[in-house]
């Protein structure tokens, strides 16, 4: 199935529904482009290419490795250049122009009219610059240099392949711009950032908000539900920061399968003059782990998660259109899942919005693979990354937990020397994340090797249901992999990766273990493995690998293009297996 996009304006929607303004300009579409294979053009000593035109073209926001970008080059690209003209509508006159990037992998240098504006490091998080003073009003242009040496071991690259080609569970890389680029027109004094914390016991939304300047202003917060105003409060402040509780006259809980999202509007004024209007949304819910169980809104629920890696056949990291986010949630729920591990990637805000709307739980992860976890100095990159991740995603009700790292395997160095994880790194990361959000549970490293964690999870890809069951019977329900490297710490227990069963018939790809002989054996194995976890009274959740195939890894419940692998009757069977009541729910 060939993807169709609007080349003149791909991904036209506003990229972040958590902080939306009406006066904005989408910069997606055709840009000039060039790959710097020699390294000459990103020379720090004689950088002049920010003034030049480039011969090739690329469709932003798709990475040059993707087919949708129009480039489709899949080799290593340590440096790439972008350029486009800037022309603003009349509604931008007299306003500050804030240039936003949804994400650029990994390091971005931004120029306007050849003048250096700023640099940002971190390939998965948004950043912005006020470019007003760099504009002339005639012939303005924007140039971006993106550098991405993902093989240095200092920063996370998720599942991007460290070798030339995709292999195993490493896939096609993403270089440079891979999310929407846009400009907003704002007053000098405007809303800069806000943090929303639901407190369902008191039917209030706790609000913390920063403005761009410390000046005398008033802020009105208006909450609505189903077209009706259910809360409003006006506060005055002068220091650039304010915190208050927004009381709600109606409490509608965000719950499984029921997004129940409130609309939210902030109006910033100076006297009678409106300075800024920002639109957002929120959900009211509570999460907690205690006594071996997970509680949503005070009710024990069993987590039926599926591994979702956020890859798209023709867009790689970037979905061809936003309907794909809603579709992935729908496909998952059709199979009986109530949430996902958004795995080894920081998903776009619109993907989280799809989960928010659907009442679909998400574990938010850091894309840590590629980091040398034995090197404590890597925290210089990881800690700012994590602060950015929480800053961007904190307000999403679908996120019920944070996962700092994933499977921190030993690194094999020269002459086969092994380097084990530096446990201090995991301890520091756990504490950094908890300092930013003490509401949600935090995992230090999913699967192995735990140091300090709010919930003890393991990964197990045993394909024989009988052996799988025996592991838990012999361990009194608390099987621990790698017992010489990690010990169960008494926190709520779950299996956050299992299954990975390959469908018979696709011999070119791979899955875990031996391939079932036929479809009936696949269904039997899926049921047998899942039953072991559902019947374990000491297990609060499971996560099946995986929702859809990704490139050569063909153990998904759907094909890579999200088309069906199973008949309607088989899907009904799979859903019934997953939705059966778990022991902790009885």
Q: Give the whole-angstrom CA distance, residue 422 versus residue 146.
A: 30
Q: Give the whole-angstrom CA distance, residue 556 versus residue 562.
A: 9
Look at residue 531 and tell me whether its pLDDT is greater than 90. yes
| Contacting residues for 410 by C-beta, under 8 A, at least 6 apart | 418, 419, 420, 421
- What class, spelled out in words, does domain 201-282 have in CATH? mainly beta
Contact 180, 61 (CB under 8 A): yes
Q: What is the pLDDT of residues 42-58, one digit of tens each?
A: 554 345 677 788 999 99
In the chain, which segments carry CATH 2.60.120.260?
Answer: 24-186
| Count, residues in the chain | 586
Q: What are 128's two structure tokens? A: 């912005």
Q: pTM of this prediction?
A: 0.96
Question: What is the predicted pLDDT for the residue at 42?
Answer: 52
Question: What is the predicted pLDDT for the residue at 44?
Answer: 42
Q: Give the whole-angstrom CA distance, residue 298 versus residue 198.
A: 14
Q: Give the whole-angstrom CA distance, residue 528 versus residue 142.
A: 57
Question: What is the predicted pLDDT for the residue at 414?
Answer: 77
In the chain, which segments carry CATH 3.20.20.80?
Answer: 300-585
Question: What is the predicted pLDDT for the residue at 527?
Answer: 99
Question: What is the predicted pLDDT for the residue at 7?
Answer: 72
β-strand 79-85 against 176-177: which pairing, if any? unpaired
In the chain, which segments carry CATH 2.60.40.10?
Answer: 201-282
Q: What is the pLDDT of residues 439-496, one digit of tens each?
A: 999 999 999 999 999 999 999 999 999 999 999 999 999 999 999 999 999 999 999 9
Q: Does domain 300-585 have CATH number 3.90.1640.10?
A: no
Q: Which residue has the tokens 């908000």?
A: 209
Look at residue 141 and tell me whether its pLDDT is greater than 90. yes
Q: Give the whole-angstrom CA distance, residue 276 versus residue 118.
A: 25
Q: Give the whole-angstrom CA distance, residue 109 versus residue 101.
A: 12
Q: What is the pLDDT of residues 84-107, one digit of tens each?
A: 999 999 999 999 999 999 999 999
The arithmetic mean of pLDDT across residues 215-243, rounded, is 98
Q: What are 416's two structure tokens? A: 């086969």
Bridge partners, 241 (sequence order): 210
Instruction: Give percent helix, percent strand, percent coil of the chain, each to the nearest 5.
Output: 20, 35, 45
DSSP code, position 43: -
> Is omega for the bond preceding 114 within 30 degrees of 0, making it cis?
no
Q: Which of 152, 84, 155, 98 is nearest to 123 (CA)?
A: 155
Residue that wins the pLDDT comparison between 267 and 38: 267
Q: Give the whole-angstrom CA distance, residue 194 versus residue 4.
A: 36
CA-to-CA dists, residue 252 to 27, 202, 255, 261, angstroms? 37, 13, 9, 8
Give me the CATH code for the 24-186 domain, please.
2.60.120.260
């Amino acid at each position: 199935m060939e993807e169709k996009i609007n080349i003149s304006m791909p991904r036209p929607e506003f990229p972040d529904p958590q902080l939306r303004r009406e006066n904005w300009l989408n910069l997606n579409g055709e840009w000039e482009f060039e790959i710097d294979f020699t390294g000459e053009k990103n020379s720090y000593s004689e950088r002049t290419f920010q003034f030049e035109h480039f011969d090739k073209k690329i469709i932003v926001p798709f990475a040059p490795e993707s087919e949708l970008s129009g480039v489709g080059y899949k080799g290593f690209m340590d440096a790439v250049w972008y350029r486009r003209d800037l022309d603003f509508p009349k509604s931008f006159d007299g306003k500050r122009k804030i240039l936003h990037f949804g994400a650029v992998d990994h390091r971005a240098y931004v120029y306007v009219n050849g003048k250096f504006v700023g640099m940002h490091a971190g390939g998965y998080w948004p950043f912005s610059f006020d470019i007003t003073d760099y504009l002339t009003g005639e012939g303005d242009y924007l140039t971006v240099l993106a550098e991405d040496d993902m093989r240095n071991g200092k920063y996370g690259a998720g599942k991007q392949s460290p070798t030339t080609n995709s292999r195993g569970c490493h896939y096609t890389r993403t270089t440079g711009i891979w999310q929407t680029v846009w400009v907003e027109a704002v007053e000098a004094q405007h809303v800069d950032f806000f943090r929303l914390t639901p407190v369902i016991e008191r039917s209030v939304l706790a609000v913390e908000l920063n403005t761009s300047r410390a000046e005398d202003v008033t802020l009105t917060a208006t909450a609505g539900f189903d077209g009706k105003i259910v809360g409003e409060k006006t506060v005055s402040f002068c220091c650039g920061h304010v915190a208050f509780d927004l009381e709600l006259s109606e409490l509608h809980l965000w719950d499984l399968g029921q997004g129940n999202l409130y609309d939210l509007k902030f109006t910033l004024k100076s006297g009678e003059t409106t300075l800024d209007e920002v639109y957002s949304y929120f959900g009211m819910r509570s999460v907690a782990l205690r006594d071996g169980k997970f509680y949503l809104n005070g009710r024990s629920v069993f987590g039926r998660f599926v591994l979702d890696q956020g890859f798209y056949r023709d867009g790689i990291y970037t979905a061809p259109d936003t309907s794909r986010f809603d579709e992935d949630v729908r496909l998952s729920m059709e199979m009986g899942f109530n949430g996902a591990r958004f795995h080894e990637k920081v998903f776009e805000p619109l993907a989280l919005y799809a989960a928010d709307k659907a009442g679909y739980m998400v574990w938010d992860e850091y894309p840590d693979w590629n980091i040398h976890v034995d090197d404590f100095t890597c925290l210089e990159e990881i800690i700012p990354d994590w602060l950015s991740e929480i800053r961007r995603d904190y307000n999403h009700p679908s996120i019920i937990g944070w996962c700092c790292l994933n499977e921190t395997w030993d690194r094999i160095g020269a002459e086969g020397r092994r380097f084990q994880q530096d446990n201090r790194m995991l301890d520091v990361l756990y504490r950094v994340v908890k300092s930013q959000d003490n509401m949600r549970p935090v995992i230090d490293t999913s699967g192995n090797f735990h140091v300090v964690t709010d919930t003890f999870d393991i990964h197990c890809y045993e394909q024989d249901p009988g052996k799988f069951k025996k592991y838990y019977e012999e361990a009194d329900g608390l099987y621990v992999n790698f017992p010489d490297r990690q010990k169960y710490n008494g926190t709520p227990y779950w299996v956050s990766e299992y299954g990975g069963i390959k469908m018979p018939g696709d011999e070119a790809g791979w899955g875990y273990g031996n391939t079932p002989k036929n479809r009936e054996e696949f269904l039997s194995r899926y049921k047998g493995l899942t039953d072991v976890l559902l019947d374990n009274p000491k297990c609060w959740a499971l996560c099946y690998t995986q929702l859809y195939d990704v490139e050569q890894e063909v153990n998904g419940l759907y094909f890579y293009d999200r088309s069906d692998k199973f008949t309607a009757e088989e899907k009904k069977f799979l859903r019934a297996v997953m939705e059966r009541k778990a022991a902790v729910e009885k």
